[in-house]
Amino acid sequence: MYASQQDELINVKGLHKYFLGNHILKGIDFSANEGDLISIIGRSGCGKTTFLRCLNCLEILDSGTIHIAGITLSRHLNHHITEENNPSNNKKRRVLLPNLGMPKEERLDDDFRLKARAIRLKVGILFQNLNLFPHMTVLENISRPPMIVKGENRDQTVPRAIGLLEKVGLEKFMDRYPHQLSGGQAQRVAIARALAMSPQVMLYDEPTSSLDPELVQEVMEVMINLHKEGMTQIIVTHAMNFARKASNIVIYMEDGKIVEQGHPDEIFDNAKDQRTQQYLSIL
Ligand SMILES: Nc1ncnc2c1ncn2[C@@H]1O[C@H](COP(=O)(O)OP(=O)(O)OP(=O)(O)O)[C@@H](O)[C@H]1O
Ligand SMILES: [Mg+2]
């Protein structure tokens, strides 16, 4: 059964990204429905982090279209003319090269910049570590950002922060500082902090890979509970057990492309693409 266009919270078409002249994302087509919990797996360097960062505009796509949380961003490769391919030099064939490198925010037009900013507000992202402000208590870490970024007042943000701490099972830790938490607790606070901004989508880049095995489960549980509540989540992970058991879709990426995607059982037991089979066979 296919979801209707309306259910699609994310739709990406022909996404390309270059870094320093290297073609990193090579035409990604992707969609996610509201409530999906999608795991992205693949070898180191295949572009998983870059893809997540493009989704919430921490990196600006070079080409393609990203529709996410009701906002659509489109961009096409700017071409520049070098000495080598200058058309006035008619001895040489005219070749248009993409304008490589990170586009500076100031080179983007106002409308694009505003949309990118709006996307960052609606799409939460969590990294492996370094997610909390060290000089703020747990409660401040969660209640302050909506005050600073969205101009909300303390009367709104503090009760919401306490509610979110209850959700991640850490209400007793609200007065502690980040260095007084275990790695698993810190990641749960970081999730609560991202949720305090009322995101429509949550992205996680290997959220448990720096944790001891016994702490992984408590962070995973938070994501599983959010899935039950209908939050749309995308997780880059090397935790195959989690990808298989918790997600409703698994994506295998290789060399800047999505090679295969499907239900976890399909991918893990019955991958159709040889590249996916080979990757899974060496795990
Ligand atoms: N800011 C950057 N500048 C230049 N190259 C970059 C930058 N960020 C990533 N890259 C390159 O892009 C490629 C993809 O990197 P990315 O971090 O997306 O991979 P990944 O799939 O997340 O890998 P891992 O599993 O190791 O985290 C790599 O070759 C990397 O060196
Ligand atoms: Mg990565």
Residue 32: which CATH number? 3.40.50.300
Q: Ligand 2 center to residue 221 CA distance, Å?
A: 22
Q: Cα–Cα distances in Å, from 202 out to 107, 126, 145, 169? A: 28, 8, 16, 19
Q: What is the pLDDT of residue 104?
A: 55
Q: What is the pLDDT of residue 21?
A: 87
pLDDT tier at 264, thresholds 50, 70, 90: very high
pLDDT tier at 48, thresholds 50, 70, 90: very high
- 211 or 175, which is more confident? 175
Is the CB of residue 224 less than 8 Å from the CB of residue 245? no
Residues of the chain with pLDDT > 90, as a percent, come to 76
pLDDT tier at 283, thresholds 50, 70, 90: confident
Is the CB of residue 4 less than 8 Å from the CB of residue 20? no
Domain count, the chain: 1
User: Strand 201-205 vs strand 232-236: parallel, antiparallel, or unpaired?
Assistant: parallel
CA separation for the pair 129, 35 (Å, rounded): 25
Residue nearest to atom 6 of ligand 1 (CA): 19
Q: Ligand 2 center to residue 41 CA distance, Å?
A: 10
Q: Ligand 2 center to residue 256 CA distance, Å?
A: 12
Residue nearest to atom 28 of ligand 1 (CA): 45
Dump pLDDT digits (tens) for 138-173. 999 999 999 999 999 999 999 999 999 999 999 999
What does the mean pLDDT of the chain come to? 88
Q: Ligand 1 center to residue 65 CA distance, Å?
A: 21
Q: Which amino acid would we find at residue 280?
A: L
Please check the confidence at residue 5 and state whether its pLDDT lies above 90: no
Ramachandran bin of 69, using left for φ above 0, alpha for ψ from -120 to 50, beta for the remaining angles: left
Q: Which amino acid would we find at residue 255?
A: D
Q: What is the pLDDT of residue 161?
A: 97
Q: Which amino acid would we find at residue 45?
A: G
Residues of the chain with pLDDT > 70, as a percent, come to 87
Dump pLDDT digits (tens) for 50-75. 999 999 999 999 999 999 999 999 99
pLDDT tier at 1, thresholds 50, 70, 90: very low
Dump pLDDT digits (tens) for 194-238. 999 999 999 999 999 888 888 899 999 999 999 999 999 999 999
Binding site membership of 20 for ligand 1 (Cβ less than 6 Å): yes
Ligand 1 atom closest to the Cα of residue 59 is: 1
Q: What is the pLDDT of residue 7?
A: 66
CA separation for the pair 226, 221 (Å, rounded): 9
Q: Ligand 2 center to residue 238 CA distance, Å?
A: 10
Q: What is the pLDDT of residue 93?
A: 41
CA separation for the pair 253, 46 (Å, rounded): 7
Q: Which of 193, 43, 69, 66 is nearest to 130 (CA)?
A: 193
Ligand 1 atom closest to the Cα of residue 51 is: 18
Is the CB of residue 237 less than 8 Å from the CB of residue 39? yes
- Using DSSP's 3-state secondary structure scheme, residue 75 falls into strand
Binding site membership of 48 for ligand 1 (Cβ less than 6 Å): yes
Q: What is the pLDDT of residue 86?
A: 42
Q: What is the pLDDT of residue 76?
A: 85
Could you list the residue range(s) of the whole structural domain that residue 198 is in? 5-281
Is the CB of residue 28 less than 8 Å from the CB of residue 15? yes
Residue nearest to atom 2 of ligand 1 (CA): 19
List of long-range contacts for 139-145, beta carbons under 8 Å, 24+ apart: 139/165, 139/174, 139/175, 141/178, 141/189, 141/193, 142/189, 142/192, 142/193, 142/196, 143/196, 145/193, 145/196, 145/197
